């Protein structure tokens, strides 16, 4: 398949977007559909805060267009509370909670680390080695879940690769050794734009790119100028030309810029969406 530009937002349920990006009166249950019809991907972030249910993943699957890709944010219980140590059962619970219900729409799983985790090759390497690389391995891990999972679905809907992306936030990860370790495991290091708060690491460590745009001049708040989006579009085109799928998620949601910026970047890339190909889209 040709490399794809998968551009969207990190989450979609933000009151600030209502009456702005979302038309006044749009029912809350239709917000994901409205966003997904105007983008090519969405990053599911509720999974970061707590274990979801298979019914939730099924609902998100049904609410999005056929070609939409749904990235899934890994649970903070694994990254922030357990801090990557002794996480075998926690990973099983996470994948048993319904991730595989997304079937062919399942995009990369994002593992965001807290700023306080420094690069430790043993710790990070052990964690990366635990991550399942295809749907069958994911299902095999999921069946080892414990009773903490309230809803369970360990059945792979499709058979294929499962990609992972790592977003470190400590500067010690900006090193050749960290990049080599991620490359060894085929895990993408996130290219993070965070108004200078966290390291930006553009080197390829896998066969796809994963970008999170948190705000160019003000974290989570500032929008991207035309010139900035032109530069990001050019960079995305370079990566696509190298044969990489490119995932870009705007996280500058505090003032409602994220969805507008995602649509503007897609327009620069000339990527059609459900809304542009189906005039009566929601």
Give pLDDT, residue 280.
61
Instruction: Write down the pLDDT at residue 150.
Output: 80
Would you tell me the crossing angle of helices 176-185 and 121-130 to the nearest 10 degrees? Answer: 20
Residue 123 lies in a domain: yes
What CA–CA distances, in Å, run from 159 to 5, 27, 91, 101, 156? 22, 35, 19, 12, 7
Q: What pLDDT is recorded for position 151?
A: 82
User: Which CATH number belongs to the domain containing residue 42 in this structure?
Assistant: 3.20.20.410
Tokens matching residue 75: 């649970």
Q: Is residue 282 part of a domain?
A: no
Q: How many structural domains comprise the chain? A: 1
Alpha-carbon distance 246 to 160, whole Å?
Answer: 18
pLDDT 10s digit of each residue in the chain, 282 long? 799 999 999 999 999 999 999 999 999 999 999 999 999 999 999 999 999 999 999 999 999 999 999 999 999 999 999 999 999 999 999 999 999 999 999 999 999 999 999 999 999 999 999 999 999 999 999 999 999 988 888 999 999 999 999 999 999 999 999 999 999 999 999 999 999 999 999 999 999 999 999 999 999 999 999 999 999 999 999 999 999 999 999 999 999 999 999 999 999 999 999 998 876 666
Question: What pLDDT is recorded for position 126?
Answer: 98
88 within domain boundaries: yes
CB atoms within 10 A of CB 85: 9
Show the domain range for 163: 5-277
Look-up: residue for tokens 């903070």?
Answer: 76
For residue 89, is it within any domain? yes
3-state SS string over 90-103? Answer: HHHHHHHCCHHHHH
Q: What is the pTM (predicted TM-score) of this model? A: 0.96
Examine residue 67 and state whether it is found in any structural domain, yes or no.
yes
């Amino acid at each position: 398949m040709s490399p794809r530009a998968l551009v969207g937002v990190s989450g979609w349920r933000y009151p600030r977007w209502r009456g702005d990006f979302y038309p006044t009166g749009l029912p809350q249950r239709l917000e994901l559909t409205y966003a997904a019809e105007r983008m090519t991907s969405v990053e599911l972030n509720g999974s970061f805060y707590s274990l979801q249910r298979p019914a939730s993943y099924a609902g998100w699957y049904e609410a999005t267009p056929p070609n939409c890709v749904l990235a899934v944010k890994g649970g903070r219980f694994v990254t922030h509370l357990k801090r990557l140590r002794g996480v075998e059962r926690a990973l099983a619970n996470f994948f048993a909670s319904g991730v595989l219900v997304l079937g062919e729409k399942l995009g990369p799983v994002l593992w965001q680390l807290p700023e306080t985790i420094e690069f430790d090759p043993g710790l990070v390497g052990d964690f990366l080695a635990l991550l399942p690389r295809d749907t069958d391995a994911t299902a095999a891990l999921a069946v080892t879940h414990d009773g903490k999972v309230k809803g369970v679905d360990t059945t792979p809907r499709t058979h294929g690769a499962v990609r992972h992306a790592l977003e470190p936030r400590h500067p010690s990860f900006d090193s050749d050794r960290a990049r080599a370790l991620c490359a060894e495991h085929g895990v993408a290091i996130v290219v993070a734009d965070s108004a200078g708060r966290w390291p930006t690491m553009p080197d390829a460590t896998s066969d796809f790119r994963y970008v999170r745009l948190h705000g160019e001049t003000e974290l989570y708040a500032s929008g991207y100028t035309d010139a900035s989006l032109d530069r990001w579009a050019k960079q995305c085109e370079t990566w696509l030309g190298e044969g990489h799928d490119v995932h870009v998620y705007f996280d500058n949601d505090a003032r409602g810029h994220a969805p507008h910026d995602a649509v503007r970047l897609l327009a620069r890339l000339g990527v059609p969406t459900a809304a542009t190909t189906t005039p009566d889209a929601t």
